[in-house]
Chains A and B, each alone.
Chain A
Amino acid sequence: MISQVFILTTSGDHLIYKDFRGEAGVDAIRTFYEAVTALSGDQPPVVMVGLGVQSHKGMHFVHVKQGGLYWAASTKSNPSPFTVIEFLNRLAALTKDYCGSLSEKSVRMNFALIYELLDEMVDYGYIQTTSTDMLKNFIQTETMSSKPFSLFELGNVGLFGAETQQSKVAPSAATSRPLMFTRGDQGGNEIFVDVIERLSVIIGSNGVVMKADIEGEIRVKCYLPGCSEMRIGLNEELSIGKSQLRGYGMAVRMDECSFHQAVKLDEFDAYRILKICPSQGEQTVMQYQLCDDLPCAPPFRLFPTVERDIGNSVALNVSVTLPIPKGSVSLSQELSSPDQSAELQSKNKALQWDIPRFPGGAQLSALFKLEVPGLSSASLQEVGPVSLCFELPKHTCTGLQVRFLRLTPTQPGSSQRWVRYVTHSDSYTIRI
């Protein structure tokens, strides 16, 4: 059971503090903050404060870090860490749903709402409910949004590429706005289905893919006030598990998948259709994994240069990090276009090359010259492996597609349905 829940900024300001059981005082927060900031770097999510302060004897603090804030819970019993961590994650997710975004500012502005949420979610330290459907009946405070929202606001467009409107891709900022439960004004009739894949790849120095894992999820973000059932059709030739094979063409394969509790799977086996009654807010409908057997070539390759081999697409915010020998003093660079940048981070002993936009099929090259005093042949061993960080919109590496998205009963007025695909790099490493 949870004794207290609090939200802190990284500088230690209290944003939210709620005591459920009266087992420890407010000064527990300070104890926690001191423990978490005592050492440099991130601390593991469970901090135990034992001796010393008498009133906090044997007290555990579990925290997660989201949106640059500490979301922490204290407890005197010994509960399941998974439960407490998941609860804090859920609290952060709900805050994001209700406030639009997760930041110090939005939490500060909506503190009354968060107190209200906490009051309904937890009673006497026991989790009561966290489902948006249940909570929306009880939450009365209105969201305070820092900026008025407009879907067609141009400032939103950049995030997912410039051709947003033409190609019917909703800007990613479209979902960073609060759920509006009571008012059915602009934007109330929208539903977003996001297929998000996280790619983690290791490519050996000889160009052979040594490890390739994809962790994917289908996330639904629903703003529709009343939606009884939604049907999501996936690729019919989707096969699950190692042995199963469907269809004749290029099968879309995944090793394992799991579904949200509320998903009805009666048509999944035959037609690969997921049926769900989405509640308002964000939820992960399906999660899936694919290990070791990528259906397509990995999106980046690096010889002395980084090469792309996917046609007709764009990669955004690519950043390449290359560890370099200790003691490198200066860097000279030849980059192929002016918007790219490269810098030497001597603290991290690395060289970072940023490419804001990377057209598909293109090949970029860069030549870096480093000055290393006292270079020995062994220093060359310190070069590499190269890590890539990127975002590929409109692309899934498994090839998973949403064939259709049907809502029943048909929504009155024009409801907007968006399906978006994006692949992120979780860890993309190329050895030299």
Chain B
Amino acid sequence: MPYFGSEETVKELKRALSNPNIQSDRLRYRNYIFRVIRSMTQGLDVSALFMEMVKASATVDIVQKKLVYLYMCTYASLKPDLVLLAINTLRKDCADPNPMVRGLALRNMCNLRMPGITEYIQQPIMTGLRDKAPYVRRVAVLGCAKMQRLQTLTEIDATIVNELYGMLRDPDPVVMVNCLRALEEILQAEGGVVINKPIAHHLLNRLKDLDSWAQSEVLTFLLRYRPRSEDELFDILSLLDGFLQSGHTPVLAATLRLFLQLAAEHPAVQVDALVRARGPLLNACGAQSRELRFAGLCHVQKILKSQPGQYGAHYKRFFCSYSEPSYIKFRKIEILVELVNDENVGLVLEELRGYCTDVSLELAQAAIAAIGRIGRMYSEKCLDILTGLLGLKQEHITSAVVQTFRDLTWHCPQSTVLVCRAVEGCEETIQDAEGKQALLWLLGVHGGKINSAPYVLEGYINGLKSEMSSAVKVELLTAAVQLFLVRPAEMQDMLGRLLQYCIETRRVIQGPESDPSMGVIIGRPEEPVSNWVSTFNTLTPLCGRVTSPEPTTSGCTNHTTQNVVADPLAGTSEETEVYTPEDKQGVIGMSLGPTLLHEDFERLWLELKLSLRENLGFPGPRSSPETLQAALQLVKMQTLAFSRADTLPWKAYIYTHCSGTLVLAELLQPTAEPESDGMVLSIKQKPEDRQVLQEFVAVLKTVLQTLIKGTS
């Protein structure tokens, strides 16, 4: 950082430091050294004073020594030749009778990061390893690691490695832990320090003597150890048991991770450990330090993925406090959504309702979205609250509520009637593009049930010229067409005007894409613990998305096409069994009806066992998913959901009724190379019928292959 007048300051300091009068006055001399360090911290380049500072290192004043060493370590790489002048003093200090001086000198000598220093530090380090003062040994052990890093190209010194392995038995606990750390760094290329059975048990037995920092670090090293037998495993677990209740959060987290990893084969033990660690983790979530709180919350969130029921009774601990920063509040809202159950749903919703009128717009919108997500399970209560919020007539609230309504009708159709009633009259308040899109989508898809729908659309069509967002225009066009199909008389005129406008402006309207999020699997299948345990107690859970608790909102705008295509066709097929006589597959009758709802599909998919998994050996069709959907319709297979054409892994969910059985299928294109890997087909069937299954696969294959030929 360029500093105003920096050269002047350096000159002045230089003059003062070389003034013999000042040098003889200890306090004044020290004060000038203070000023040098202060300037250094502020970013001023004071490397020009190196010579003077080296001189100042020859002193009995330890404070002064420490400061000078700090200075030297900072600038060593810039002035390697001058550092050699200081080496002598440092080496002399390494033989000082006072262990503190010895340790200080050795530590700083190893910290001088410059090439060629190794030859000077090797001898003092080896002596330091055998020093009688533990303080010096601690420094020397880490010195080994520093030395190794300075000479990256040379081979690992086996004598040092052996010496360090031997020193794991050192009576001083910090020396022991430092040995582990040093070995880890030295042997990095070979996979780090080896934890064999004797070392593991030695570490476990010493655990009680260590301070909490060392404990959590040793516990992390132990993750590497695999017990040989069940008995040994349970011996270790019972030794660690006490640490699960530790009041020191780092130790608790490290223990919990070790527990979960060791007991990977014993889910019951894992659950038990999670239960026992619940109390201390909850305390971390309420800790005075809000940063610690945040870390605790992020980890609880991970646990909830596997054990949603665990924290249900403690939901009040996750209510937001008004003084908390927003990053904590967002996490808490996410957690509240995940732990909601029959008992607490009322109070959780009441609490969330309170956040909806918060000063912070983001928080209010997050709370509304959260209510919407709870609404997928408890739609009635949530709809009441959301409808009530519309009464406030505030832009951001209304917009968020309408967006939530859209997602809600998408995921649970039973809420449609109430939503249609509530949504009337919202159009005056909504100003932002996101909200308008959501409203238009609702008007288009459910316009038949909303009385005022044509008039609202008319309002938008009349104001078309002032509309900036193209996404809103596209949505408007779709909605107008959709509504025209349902209420032609009212819509005809304005649709004409709209089309006129579109033609005049020659704006090509790109078709919206399909729903990229697998709308089917929205529920919470319980994740196995192993999915997240490898990142537990690391920084990973704290990174990543923070602001938006509803990650799929952006994707929800793309519901449109799918429904447009699916609805009219599904309407024509009715519930009759249609035979396709010209094909040999016609032997079995497949039918589309009765229609399977998304949630039913999802429930069945999770319930049923896999009947068949087959690699089809050819890639997925390059044609658009809509074509695929239409093609499958012809052979009476209903596509329920599919990913966007260009996403990978690409998935599609299909179902059909066939000779009294229901067949559910998933198509999965896992990797980016369509040539190397074929699509994987998984089928679940209820009730089982082998013959039907084979017929189904044959039909599906034919359709897919035909499509591939057609496009290539």
Contacts and interface: CB of A to CB of B under 8 A. Distances in A.
B325 A41 contact: yes
Interface string A378-394: 11011001010100000
A258 B247 contact: yes
Interface string A304-327: 000000000000000001010010
A300 interface: no
A303 interface: no
Nearest to A200: B321
Nearest to A288: B283
Contacts of B296: 82
Interface in B33-73: 34, 37-38, 41-43, 62-63, 66-67, 70
Size category of the A interface is: 35 or more
Interface stretch (A115-123, A158-166, A174-182, A407-415): A115-123
Interface in A110-144: 111-112, 115-116, 119, 123-124, 126-131, 137-138, 140-141
Contact of A22 (B113, B178, B286, B542): B113
Given A80-B537, A256-B279, A427 B63 contact: no
Interface string B314-326: 0011011111111
B335 interface: no
Which of B66, B220, B291 has the largest number of chain A CB atoms within 10 A?
B291
A17 B316 CA distance: 41
Contacts of A64: 289, 291
A139 B338 CA distance: 49
B114 to A, nearest CB: 10
A259 B247 contact: yes
Contact of B543 (A46, A82, A202, A291): A46
Contact of B295 (A85, A287, A348): A85
A210 B347 contact: yes
Interface stretch (A8-16, A336-344, A397-405): A8-16
A44 B326 CA distance: 9
Interface string A48-83: 100000000000101111000000000100111111
Contacts of B220: 80
Interface stretch (B209-217, B370-378, B596-604, B655-663): B209-217
B354 A431 contact: yes
A429 B351 CA distance: 11
Nearest to A383: B357
A113 to B, nearest CB: 9
Contact of B34 (A63, A112, A131): A112
Given A80-B537, A256-B279, A129 B216 contact: no
Contact of A427 (B100, B248, B321, B394): B321
A198 interface: yes
A422 B220 CA distance: 38
Contacts of A81: 295, 298, 537-539, 541-542
A181 B391 CA distance: 65
B651 interface: no
B388 A131 contact: no
B137 to A, nearest CB: 12
B245 A258 contact: yes
B138 interface: yes
Given A111-B41, A123-B139, A323 B359 contact: yes
Interface stretch (B123-131, B227-235, B249-257, B510-518): B249-257
A83 B212 CA distance: 9
Interface string A263-303: 00000000000000000000000010101100000000000
B394 A326 contact: yes
Contacts of B67: 112, 115
Interface in B288-331: 288-289, 291-292, 294-296, 298, 316-317, 319-327
A426 B351 CA distance: 17
Contact of A42 (B41, B283, B326, B543): B326
Interface in A348-400: 348-350, 376-379, 381-382, 385, 387, 389
A350 B322 CA distance: 13
Contacts of A137: 100
A349 B245 CA distance: 43
A130 B392 CA distance: 54
B146 interface: yes
Contact of B539 (A19, A79, A89): A79
B94 interface: no
B247 A287 contact: yes
A261 interface: yes
Contacts of A431: 354
B249 A86 contact: yes
B294 to A, nearest CB: 6
Interface string B548-590: 0000000000000000000000000000000000000000000
B322 A289 contact: no
A259 to B, nearest CB: 7
A338 to B, nearest CB: 28
A343 B64 CA distance: 53
Nearest to B246: A258
Contacts of A385: 354
A348 B1 CA distance: 38
B540 interface: yes
B201 interface: no
Contacts of A287: 247, 283
B182 to A, nearest CB: 9
A376 B294 contact: no
Which of A14, A80, A379 has the largest number of chain B CB atoms within 10 A?
A80
B74 interface: yes
Interface string A165-194: 000000000000000000000000000000
B107 interface: yes
A422 to B, nearest CB: 13
A427 B292 CA distance: 18
B216 A83 contact: yes
A207 interface: no
Contacts of A331: none
Contacts of A115: 37, 66-67, 70
Interface in A188-233: 198, 200, 202, 210-211, 213, 215
Interface in B313-368: 316-317, 319-327, 347, 351, 354, 357, 359
Given A82-B292, A287-B247, A427 B322 contact: yes
B323 A89 contact: no
Given A381-B391, A385-B354, A80 B294 contact: no
B286 A213 contact: yes
Contacts of B111: 124
A24 to B, nearest CB: 13
Interface string B78-103: 00000000000000000000001000
B665 interface: no
Nearest to B110: A124
Contacts of B43: 14, 26
A205 B463 CA distance: 44
Nearest to B286: A215
Given A44-B327, A60-B539, A382-B357, 5 more contacts: A46-B542, A126-B178, A128-B174, A258-B280, A289-B283
Interface of B: 34, 37-38, 41-43, 62-63, 66-67, 70, 74, 100, 107, 111, 113, 138-139, 142, 145-146, 174, 177-178, 181, 211-213, 216-217, 220, 245-250, 252-254, 279-280, 283-284, 286, 288-289, 291-292, 294-296, 298, 316-317, 319-327, 347, 351, 354, 357, 359, 388, 391-394, 537-543, 546
- Which 4 A-B pairs have CB atoms at the shortest separation, nearest pair first? A427-B321, A258-B247, A45-B291, A42-B325
6 contacts: A42-B327, A44-B327, A81-B542, A119-B70, A137-B100, A427-B321
Interface of A: 1, 13-19, 22, 26, 41-46, 48, 60, 62-65, 75, 78-83, 85-89, 111-112, 115-116, 119, 123-124, 126-131, 137-138, 140-141, 198, 200, 202, 210-211, 213, 215, 256, 258-261, 287, 289, 291-292, 321, 323, 326, 348-350, 376-379, 381-382, 385, 387, 389, 426-427, 429, 431
